[in-house]
């Protein structure tokens, strides 16, 4: 704090932020420098300077809110005394594609000079802050991609002769570069709610589902993530998950409410009923353990939940005990990948160093020409789409059973508008989209057998149909590639809802939201982690690219393209390599792209 005082007294900066290393001189850090600098440099706000213009005050305020101050104390200095008391910086965060632009005007709407000056007698002014909207983050830390322009007025008035902001929107406004420097994505975890189909999950009947949020990574990120976990799931995911954490439970207010000692995580809670059952407490512990493990450089070997009032232990859960509740429990465990060879036979690659092997079941015989295939998460059944795109085969993966009679589900005469590649969820249900222009629909075969059930998709945009479907292993989230009549193709996320209807179960997809709004033409997509997707797509004015995205649509990373990609496969186990189908054959990405086989197509992992 003393160092900051010296900085302000020296009058080195008009306003904004300064980098504060552990030694050496204090220096100004612009947004471009921050984006390139990945070192743990702390950023501190700089107070407004004397005789600053309206634009300098607004610009300095927006710089100060990107600081590493927990309560934005310096940013509040740019506000009038009354506005300091009511402005809520935690209401939301607006992310712009680049730095904001500023236009000054009188309250009546007359434009001011370019430098933001106005007549000395004026007591009020307005600075409009504008830019290109990229995303918003709500009060619960949930990220939502956005499009369009942004413009908000900041009203200023003089306080003892100096301009201060008197009216402004609650929340923060910053560029994408500053957002990436200040925030990072972490997963909170809740249990999937399958409603009347809970029995399909087997004895454990538990699957943790990731709900990504953004937290300030230099300002108590672990505490913030745990607080949001205790508050419950975000609005989008809430209808299909549940939490074992009672509503009134919170994090103890002490500064050491969360401690880590030799791998043991201790979390002090308030509002816990003394009669809380131990089993439920341990389920709470698993949610906390995996949420914190996301941010820990070392392994959390044990989690202990304690009563913040007296320090007594509520329960403890070791990592070994929590393994049965780990995210991805319903996904495949072998690491095998699959593809179709040149003779339409289904082959498996048991691990990255193994040679391809023909499966012994009916789809390994090549008796029926196939264009797509999928293997169940348990890897005991396989489904294939016939070459004409009209029929579905479901059979055992292994054994000598004869090839079953194909089930005709599409009337399309064109294979490209027939059935999509099927997808298995972790409950054993099989999903497929019929892309027939005369009647596109989403179908589900409960348990992978019997007559298909048509699944309504609420909120499907007009002029679009489902071109591809990828269901998560948890059975409550689905990624769908939607194709438009105008040739566009974008990736959307949906929730899978289940409701009892007498002895039947009604299933629907709801809550559609776009996760690739900036990509105009997505050609391939796959799950690539518990909260991550990988896509190949092209923006309106760009070239085709390979991107990793979180399920909330926020960018995760990008990778090099192995040439023209016509198919893509990844696993929810993100330690397994990415697979791609190219003109040269099937390749996989490890330290670099490597050829798997020249004679193969349609690579995939179980699911």
Q: Distance between CA 22 and CA 4 in Å, rounded?
A: 13
- Residues 434 and 418: beta-carbon distance below 8 Å: yes
Our measurement of the distance from residue 465's CA atom to the centroid of its chain's CA atoms, rounded to an integer in Å, reads: 23
Q: What structural domains and CATH numbers belong to the chain?
A: 2-170 (no CATH), 184-325 (no CATH), 337-604 (2.120.10.30)
- Residues 338 and 348: beta-carbon distance below 8 Å: yes
Say whether pLDDT at 105 is over 60: yes
**Position 419 confidence tier, pLDDT thresholds 50, 70, 90:** very high
pLDDT tens-digit map of 323-364 = 999 999 999 888 899 999 999 899 999 988 888 999 999 999
Give the pairing of strands 477-484 and 489-501.
Answer: antiparallel
- The DSSP letter of residue 377 is T
Helix (H) / strand (E) element for 181: namely helix 176-182
pLDDT tens-digit map of 368-402 = 999 999 999 999 999 999 999 999 999 999 988 88
User: Vertex 229, ends 224 and 234: CA angle to 5°?
Assistant: 105
The CB-based long-range contact list for 429-434 (8 Å cut-off, 24+ gap) reads: 429/200, 429/471, 429/475, 430/374, 430/376, 430/383, 430/394, 431/455, 431/469, 431/471, 431/478, 432/383, 432/385, 432/392, 432/469, 433/465, 433/466, 433/467, 433/468, 433/469, 433/480, 434/409, 434/410
What's the rounded mean pLDDT across residues 573-600? 91
Q: Would you put residue 473 in left (φ > 0), alpha (ψ -120 to 50) or beta?
A: alpha
546 burial type by CB count under 10 A (0-12 exposed, 13-18 middle, 19+ buried): buried
Say whether pLDDT at 10 is over 50: no
Q: Which structure tokens are listed for 144?
A: 């939502």
Which pLDDT score is estimated for 110?
A: 53
- Residues 244 and 225: beta-carbon distance below 8 Å: no
Q: Distance between CA 493 and CA 483 in Å, rounded?
A: 14
Q: Distance between CA 229 and CA 208 in Å, rounded?
A: 13
pTM higher than 0.85: yes
What's the rounded mean pLDDT across residues 453-460? 97
- Residues 374 and 607: beta-carbon distance below 8 Å: yes
Letter string b/e over residues 470-501, b meaning 16 or more CB atoms within 10 A of that residue's CB: bbbbbbbbbbbbbbbeeeebbbbbbbbbbeee
**Position 561 confidence tier, pLDDT thresholds 50, 70, 90:** confident
Q: Which structure tokens are listed for 533?
A: 């997707």
Expressed in angstroms, the distance from the first to the final Cα of the chain is: 54
Q: Which structure tokens are listed for 91?
A: 């209401």
Q: Distance between CA 90 and CA 75 in Å, rounded?
A: 13
Q: Which residue's structure tokens are 């409701």?
A: 499
Which pLDDT score is estimated for 108?
A: 62
The packing angle between helices 278-293 and 221-231, to 10°, is 140
Letter string b/e over residues 510-543, b meaning 16 or more CB atoms within 10 A of that residue's CB: ebbbbbbbbbbbbbbbbbbbbbbbbbbbeeeeee
**Position 111 confidence tier, pLDDT thresholds 50, 70, 90:** low
Least trusted range by pLDDT, from 33-37, 222-226, 563-567, 602-606: 33-37
Say whether pLDDT at 8 is over 60: no
Torsion from C-alpha of 17, 19, 22, 25, nearest 10 degrees: -100
């Amino acid at each position: 704090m003393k160092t900051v005082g010296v900085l302000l007294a020296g009058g080195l900066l008009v306003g904004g932020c300064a980098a504060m290393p552990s030694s050496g001189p204090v220096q100004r850090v612009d947004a471009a420098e921050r984006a390139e600098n990945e070192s743990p440099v702390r950023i501190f706000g700089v107070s407004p300077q004397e005789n600053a213009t309206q634009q300098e005050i607004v610009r300095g305020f927006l710089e100060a809110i990107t600081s590493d101050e927990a309560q934005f104390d310096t940013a509040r200095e740019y506000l009038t005394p009354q506005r300091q008391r009511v402005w809520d910086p935690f209401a939301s965060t607006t992310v712009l594609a680049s730095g904001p632009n500023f236009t000054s005007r009188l309250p009546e709407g007359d434009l001011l000079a370019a430098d933001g000056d106005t007549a000395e007698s004026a007591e009020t002014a307005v600075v409009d802050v504008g830019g290109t909207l990229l995303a918003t983050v709500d009060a619960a830390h949930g990220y939502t991609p956005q499009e369009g322009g942004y413009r908000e007025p900041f009203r200023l008035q003089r306080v003892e002769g100096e301009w201060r902001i008197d009216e402004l929107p609650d929340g923060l406004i910053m560029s994408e570069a500053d957002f990436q420097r200040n925030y990072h994505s972490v997963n909170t975890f809740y249990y999937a709610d399958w409603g009347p189909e809970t029995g399909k999950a087997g004895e454990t009947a538990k699957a943790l589902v990731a709900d990504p949020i953004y937290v300030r990574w230099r300002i108590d990120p672990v505490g913030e993530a745990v607080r949001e976990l205790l508050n419950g799931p975000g609005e989008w995911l809430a209808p299909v998950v549940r939490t074992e954490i009672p509503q009134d439970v919170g994090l103890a207010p002490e500064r050491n409410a969360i401690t880590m000692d030799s791998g043991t995580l201790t979390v002090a809670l308030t509002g816990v009923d003394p009669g809380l059952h131990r089993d439920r407490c341990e389920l709470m512990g698993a949610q906390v353990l995996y949420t914190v493990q996301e941010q820990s450089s070392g392994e959390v070997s044990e989690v202990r939940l304690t009563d913040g009032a007296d320090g007594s232990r509520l329960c403890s859960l070791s990592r070994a005990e929590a393994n049965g509740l780990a995210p991805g429990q319903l996904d495949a465990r072998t690491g095998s990948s699959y593809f179709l060879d040149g003779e339409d036979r289904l082959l498996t690659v048991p691990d990255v160093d193994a040679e391809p092997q023909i499966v012994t079941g009916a789809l390994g015989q090549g008796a029926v020409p196939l264009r797509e295939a999928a293997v169940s998460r348990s890897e005991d059944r396989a489904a294939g789409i016939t070459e004409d795109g009209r029929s579905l085969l479901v059979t055992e993966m292994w054994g000598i059973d004869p090839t079953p009679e194909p089930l005709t589900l599409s009337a399309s005469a064109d294979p490209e508008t027939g059935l999509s590649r099927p997808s298995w969820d972790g409950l054993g249900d099989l999903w497929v989209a019929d892309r027939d222009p005369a009647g596109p629909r989403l179908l589900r075969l409960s348990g992978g057998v019997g007559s298909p059930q048509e699944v309504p998709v609420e909120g499907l945009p007009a002029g679009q149909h489902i071109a591809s479907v990828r269901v998560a292993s948890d059975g409550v989230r689905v990624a769908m590639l939607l194709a438009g009549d105008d040739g566009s193709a974008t990736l959307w996320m949906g929730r899978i809802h289940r409701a009892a209807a007498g002895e039947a179960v009604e299933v629907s997809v709801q809550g559609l939201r776009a996760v690739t709004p900036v990509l105009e033409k997505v050609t391939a997509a796959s799950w690539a982690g518990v909260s991550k997707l990988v896509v190949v797509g092209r923006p309106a004015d760009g070239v085709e690219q390979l991107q990793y995205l979180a399920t909330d649509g926020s960018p995760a990373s990008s990778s090099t393209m192995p040439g023209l990609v016509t198919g893509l496969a990844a696993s929810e186990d993100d330690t397994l390599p990415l697979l791609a189908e190219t003109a040269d054959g099937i390749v996989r990405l490890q330290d670099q792209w490597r050829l798997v086989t020249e004679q193969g197509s349609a690579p995939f992992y179980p699911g």
